[in-house]
Chains A and B, each alone.
Chain A
Amino acid sequence: MQQETEQTKAARPALQMKGITKRFGSFTALNQVDLSVNTGEVHALLGENGAGKSTLMNCLFGMYGQYDGEIYWQGEPVRITDSQTAIRKGIGMVHQHFMLIPVMTVIENVVLGMTDNHWVLDLKAAARRFTELSQTYHLALDPWAKVEQLSVGQQQRLEILKSLYRHARLLILDEPTAVLTPEEVDGLFEIIDRLKAEGHTVIFISHKLNEVMKICDRCTILRNGSVAATLSISQVRNRETLARLMVGNETDLDLHETDCHLGSQALLEVKQLSCRGDYGQLICKQLSFAIRPGEILGICGVDGNGQRELVECLTGLRQAESGQYLLGGRELLNCDARQLLKSGVSHIPEDRLKYGLAPGMSLEENLILADYKRSDFARHGWLRSGRIRRQAMALCQRFGVRFSSLKQPAAELSGGNQQKLVAARELDRQPRLLIAVHPSRGLDVGAARFVQNAILSMKRKGTAILYIAGELDEVMEMSDRILVMYEGQFMGQQARANYDRTQIGLMMAGTPIS
């Protein structure tokens, strides 16, 4: 019986892409890629950064206009040259960065760009249909709320509902969990299950293998623009198998931990630090902690509990109200970013595109973004182009940044390579204090391990490291000690020797444990 349904499903693929090839100039991003997705399944698309996942999906969603190869949708050949066509055919895409207008209401965002009636905008009728739809899928959302008031998870629901409102039968979710808290991720998985039950097809793009193992039926793995494998998740024994298929056999997937001697005296001391948030509310409340040389202090907590503001205070991007910030005994409170850089503070920022890079400038210029005044790169106010180029070449090679020219704008790199670029710059400075925020966000397993190992090598050199990440596993794996932050205060700390997930979970939810 089970066998039979499997077969009938396999007999009618919702989507087939055959021999898709896409070139950008001399660079072949996709080479003869085949993808077949069955009706009603959740199909994972896996691959390293730059393997071609996004390119493939952009071809499907008509973002490029031109591609070689054939696409069959519901058994019929189609040529998708723009996203309007894709939407009309019933293909919806939820991008990693939401395509919403914050100041407009939910329903306005839903009808945006829809053209069933050119002359009349009947928001009330639209809202009625929207509410019915959201009830069908148990995705309660007030159509009249402003988008800026929604949480990230709710915005994602809105994106999904927007696609459903446009009669999407196939939903492409591009790294949907990257921006969500653990609870929101569980919520999303319920939504995906419901979509599946209603007969929708889902393509799930992710780096997180445990999530793929949990909710996907089949997966296609891309490597360097070609299909490395397509397999049923039930055939896969463990995460390692998938990881190996993604990165090939050469890449190092181990974390190089070494016991290293921690200094006895604290290198960084933060005492009673308080600061206000964007809206004037007190968001960090009298925070105190210390980090010794060679120690990694992890801070975990649900996003929005003051982690971002704490980091901004420590990196000169926000004024603290009161407190002390001592690095090697020197007071640095409310110094500007330049003085902090000079004092040996490196910062891998949470949002590489917002802070870490000048997207339109070249790789070599981005690699000296904060160090352009160093005597290696400038003399009497003139940039030394030869040295800058050599430095860029060396760093890109050491950190395995994939690029075609050092003069190409950073915006042309894939997300993972951009992150490597930022990490390369910040780690190369040999900092005394490294503040790493979500350093592996959006990176594939191989690249994430690479960046983490680079951070561990800084630890061996005696750098004090503040490590902040969204995923508890990652923080636990990297840190010597964890502080849990909740509403601008520390709920307690745990040393590596006696980590207790339940206790950490409790603290993240606001229960202080000493």
Chain B
Amino acid sequence: MNQNAKQFRFKSELKQLLLPLFSLVLALALGYLTMLLMGYDAAKAYQSLWQGIFGSRNAIAESLVQTTPLIFTAISYALTYKAGLINLGGEGQLYIGAVWGSVLGSRLSGIPVWLHWILIFAAAFAGGAIWGAISGLLKVRFKASELITTIMLNYIALEWVSFCVTNLPFKDQTAGAAPRMPTVVDNVKLSLLLPKTRLHSGFILALLVLLIYYLFMWKTTKGFELRVNGQNPNAALYAGMPVKHNAVLAFALAGGTAGLGGIINILGLQYFLTEGFASGLGFSGVAVALLGNSQPLGILLAAFLFGALNAGGIRMQTAAAVPSAMISMIQGIIIFFAVSPYLLSWIGTQLISGRNRHNLSLQNQLPPESAQLAMTTDRGKSDPEKSR
């Protein structure tokens, strides 16, 4: 009995994986069709996409580089989602975190590097956390919909960034530089994981944060409280959990995580903050979390999928001249299918029942051995018509 139950559970977990996989296949197929219709060499495009993802050491590294920030922003959405809240403010939280972090990263010097790192990360986390907590507070204090406030705070954050890159005391004062914040000092830049690629140790940090997300949500009492609230807010009240406090906490943690994602892209990749250095990462994070079902492993796989598509898309653009917007389209279709499981299962049953119907009708007419024959004769019939 227990063995059976285990098997059953395993099967249902496998099913969870099947849905995104099926979505991916369908999305690639639709992308292929679209490219054909638009007159691109679709086969070449996918070949170069593949090359861009796995084709070389550098390609793999680039895929992981793109994966890294998505893990942070996906956790940012997933954590609130698991707690019964919706955080669409990952983008803004990421930027605010990056601003706070790069202020510290470029200013302080003469302190041990480990302390500097701690201070930078703490600042980035705090910046994002405060930005997130604002939405949480507005929700519990004034019942403001977090959907609206998180989105609106994104715009405010973006305006802040544009202020910081063009105005004193934040902007880079190097003569003739484009609008940006000062470069971080050399010794806090993250080391490379693979020499001669852009893959930096921020990827390891992302995995670490993912592990912390898992431990926090599933192994601690606080995480338990958050998940109960996500499942049934009334049960959380019934069990005497500090529901309002937890909502603010969830938003703060989510914002902080997004903020970390922002600063890690600065320390590992770009070294200075420009306007739009991470544009769209917040919203891609939502997509990744949805696709990964807010589960740690799911987020990892989904973030890699999206990161790899982004990385490969660049190659696709250069090698096959297919605009990388095609990648955004494919990502969109993946999400579209992944969030409509009923549509997918309908397509699945149609495919299966269609095949069965076909088989049945053949079996009804003819003994099984001649089924093959029947198909050839069918084709034979239609051919003369064509030639006519």
Contacts and interface: CB of A to CB of B under 8 A. Distances in A.
B240 interface: yes
B219 A25 contact: no
Contact of B240 (A354, A370, A407): A370
A341 B238 CA distance: 10
A339 interface: yes
Interface in B222-243: 222, 224-225, 227-228, 231-232, 234-235, 237-242
Contacts of B227: 358, 361, 365
B377 interface: no
A383 B240 contact: no
Contacts of B241: 338
A357 B239 contact: no
B6 interface: yes
Most buried by B among A315, A340, A357: A357
Contacts of B239: 337-338, 341, 369-370, 372
Nearest to A404: B5
B235 A357 contact: yes
A349 interface: yes
A336 B239 CA distance: 10
Interface in A310-362: 315-317, 336-341, 347, 349, 354-361
Contacts of B365: none
Contact of A381 (B9, B222, B232): B222
Contacts of A279: none
B38 interface: no
B33 to A, nearest CB: 30
Chain B residues touching A, range: 20 to 34
Contacts of A316: 240
Given A338-B241, A355-B238, A383 B221 contact: yes
A360 B231 contact: yes
Nearest to B11: A25
B118 interface: no
B232 A358 contact: yes
B2 interface: yes
A405 B1 CA distance: 9
Given A26-B5, A361-B227, A355 B221 contact: no
Nearest to B232: A358
A383 B220 contact: yes
B235 A355 contact: yes
B11 A337 contact: no
A358 B231 contact: yes
B4 interface: yes
B8 interface: yes
B222 to A, nearest CB: 7
A317 B236 CA distance: 11
Contacts of A372: 221, 224-225, 239
Interface residues of A, number: 36
A119 interface: no
Contact of B232 (A315, A317, A338, A357): A357
Contact of A407 (B4, B9, B235): B9
A427 interface: no
Contacts of A266: none
B115 to A, nearest CB: 27
Nearest to B238: A355
Given A26-B4, A355-B234, A359-B232, A340 B224 contact: no
Contact of A382 (B11, B219, B242): B219
B85 to A, nearest CB: 16
B232 A337 contact: no
Contacts of A347: 238
B238 A356 contact: yes
B187 interface: no
Contacts of B5: 26, 404-405, 408
Contacts of B6: 405
B359 interface: no
Interface string A73-116: 00000000000000000000000000000000000000000000
A347 B219 CA distance: 26
Contacts of A315: 238
Given A404-B8, A407-B9, A317 B238 contact: yes
Contacts of A369: 228, 235, 238-239
Given A25-B8, A355-B235, A378 B240 contact: no
B2 A405 contact: yes
B235 A317 contact: no
A361 B234 contact: no
For the complex of A and B, the 9 pairs showing the least CB-CB separation, nearest first, are A338-B240, A337-B240, A358-B231, A26-B4, A370-B239, A25-B8, A404-B5, A405-B5, A355-B238
Given A404-B4, A404-B8, 9 more contacts: A25-B11, A316-B240, A337-B237, A354-B234, A355-B238, A365-B224, A372-B221, A372-B225, A408-B9
Interface of B: 1-2, 4-9, 11, 219-222, 224-225, 227-228, 231-232, 234-235, 237-242
18 contacts: A25-B4, A26-B7, A336-B240, A337-B239, A338-B241, A339-B240, A354-B234, A355-B234, A358-B232, A370-B239, A373-B221, A378-B221, A381-B220, A381-B221, A382-B219, A382-B221, A383-B220, A404-B5
